[in-house]
């Protein structure tokens, strides 16, 4: 696994963490952060694919 793919998976993981925080704290802004981190991670993984 190259560094770019690893970063993508970490972005997705942080998006999941923000989603959990949004559910627990009932903060709507965390949902937007979660979605943006998941999108950034997905883009990073797609760009790293050969």
* 2-44 tens-digit pLDDT: 777 899 999 999 999 999 999 999 998 999 999 999 999 999 9
| Confidence grade of residue 49 (pLDDT, cut at 50, 70, 90) | confident
**CA dist., res. 25 & res. 43, Å (int):** 28
- List the chain domain ranges: 3-48
* Entry pTM: 0.85
Angle (CA) 42 37 31, round 5°: 125
Burial status of residue 18 (CB atoms within 10 A of its CB: 0-12, 13-18, 19 or more): buried
């Amino acid at each position: 696994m190259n560094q770019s793919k690893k970063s993508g998976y970490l972005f997705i993981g942080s998006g999941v963490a923000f989603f959990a925080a949004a559910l627990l704290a009932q903060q709507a802004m965390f949902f937007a952060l979660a979605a943006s981190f998941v999108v950034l991670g997905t883009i990073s993984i797609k760009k790293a694919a050969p």
